[in-house]
Amino acid sequence: MAARRRIAARRNWPQNLRQNSAGYYWFQHPETGKTYGLGRDFAIACAEARTANAEIERRKGHVTLLQRINGGETSLADWCDKYEEPRLSGKPNSVSAMKSQLRAIRAATFAVQAVHKVSPKDIADFIALCVQQRGATMASNIRKRLHDVFREAIAQGLVDVGKNPVEAIAKPKINVARSRLTLDDFKLILAKAREDKERQWAANAIELALISGQRREDIVSMQFGQIKDGFLWIEQSKGKEGSKSKLKIPLSLRLDALGTSLEDVLRRCRDNVATKNVIHFTRPNGAAVPGNAPGLSTMSQTFARIRDEAKIKVAPGKTPPSFHEIRSLAARLYAEERGAAFAQALLGHKSSSMTELYRDIRGREWTEIKLAV
């Protein structure tokens, strides 16, 4: 219910100040509803009401303007600004995601409180609201960012060690809706791509993604100069500078499930177009000329169109597999043929747990129980 509109003559009165018909002033506590008499002097009643309102806000943990000026307290919103500044020089997508997460945090009702006064209950309510309004995946990312915001606040002495309020809050449970790509699906999509001469670049990209196990970003940026000394040399695009995975993949690498080798696929990428790009247009494509590499969005959209043309079936409640699912399929196939450690090394993962996520088939395939011989 909307608050009752104030009488015009009382619009400049402090909040929670009241007057009865006999001219007596009183203060009503906004949370408990309890009333306190203030006498008949308007100036004194106003001063008392303003003081009480300020103290009530202070007890909530709200940082006042005077506190901010004096530097005695730092609100969570202000700390987010300081946290953000040294992190603006990262990758554009990472910076954009960080800004989005910090905007959500600043908009939280408790962001006006001092950093050290934010409670686990505040965080729990906020994350639950994020799940409801933004979805579990975004809520999980915001929770992760909040955890780092408070971790840095602890490092700067704004919060006591061991009192990160995010620690006690469970990660939102994420139900992944995207379907995995099966080998049969992949073969149908590749065959459909090969039918159209104008989309041979897409067929090459799809096949190269599976045989190499690399990400979409590394596929579209791959150049022929990376092929030397019997290896495909790749410095993966994902990761911080100085810690990116650097791979030397033998050209002789063969994926038996596909019946081809990395060298065979790279050979198919060479044609009569003079270009340094392994994946490239062979005919004009919009503003692009032959030899240009496709953009990431073009690659994703083209894959989605070919997938739909191939009539790939998706279970109810699931979304169709994207180009990125080729990487998951590569992890599963190589783990089957060469072992989990090989799959982890080829994908460039630092931990086996990440590779295990890629190998999760999400109910799409049957697992064969093999007998020892």
116-134 pLDDT, tens per residue?
A: 889 999 999 999 999 888 8
User: Is 349 a catalytic site residue?
Assistant: yes
User: Is 327 a catalytic site residue?
Assistant: yes
* pLDDT beyond 90 at 68: no
CA angle (344, 350, 356) in 5-degree steps: 45
Q: Among 106, 178, 324, 338, which one carries the catalytic annotation?
A: 324
CA angle (337, 340, 345) in 5-degree steps: 105
Which long-range contacts link 261-267 to residues 24+ away (Cβ below 8 Å)?
A: 261/211, 262/211, 262/212, 262/232, 265/204, 265/207, 265/208, 265/211, 265/212, 266/208, 266/227, 266/232
What value does the mean pLDDT of the chain take?
85
What is the per-residue pLDDT across 235-273, written as a single tens digit (0 to 9) for each? 988 877 767 888 999 999 999 999 999 999 999 999 999
Q: Among 116, 180, 192, 215, which one carries the catalytic annotation?
A: 215
What is the per-residue pLDDT across 178-194, written as a single tens digit (0 to 9) for each? 788 899 999 999 999 99
Q: How confident is the model at residue 369 (pLDDT cuts 50, 70, 90)?
A: very low
Centroid of chain to Cα 240: 16
Q: Average pLDDT of 277-301?
A: 92
* pLDDT beyond 60 at 4: no
Q: At what angle do helices 325-338 and 200-212 cross, to 10 degrees?
A: 40
* pLDDT beyond 90 at 318: no
Q: What is the pLDDT of residue 48?
A: 87
Q: How confident is the model at residue 285 (pLDDT cuts 50, 70, 90)?
A: confident
Q: Which is it for the CA torsion 308, 314, 320, 324, positive or negative?
A: negative
User: Is 215 a catalytic site residue?
Assistant: yes
Q: Among 87, 151, 244, 349, which one carries the catalytic annotation?
A: 349
CA distance 140 to 146: 10
Q: What is the pLDDT of residue 331?
A: 92
Given a contact cutoff of 8 angstroms between Cβ atoms, the answer to whether 201 and 276 are in contact is no
Given a contact cutoff of 8 angstroms between Cβ atoms, the answer to whether 36 and 27 are in contact is yes
* pLDDT beyond 90 at 298: yes
Q: Among 62, 145, 358, 359, which one carries the catalytic annotation?
A: 358
Q: Among 29, 60, 238, 350, which one carries the catalytic annotation?
A: 238
Q: How confident is the model at residue 54 (pLDDT cuts 50, 70, 90)?
A: confident
Q: What is the pLDDT of residue 302?
A: 95
Q: Among 143, 327, 332, 359, which one carries the catalytic annotation?
A: 327
User: Is 358 a catalytic site residue?
Assistant: yes
DSSP helix/strand/coil, 113 = strand
User: Is 147 a catalytic site residue?
Assistant: no
Q: What is the pLDDT of residue 7?
A: 65
**Domains, the chain:** 15-59 (3.30.160.60), 76-155 (1.10.150.130), 183-359 (1.10.443.10)
User: Is 116 a catalytic site residue?
Assistant: no
* pLDDT beyond 80 at 83: yes
Percentage of the residues of the chain whose pLDDT score is greater than 70: 86
Q: How confident is the model at residue 366 (pLDDT cuts 50, 70, 90)?
A: low
Of 93-97, 162-166, 354-358, 369-373, the range with the lowest mean pLDDT is 369-373
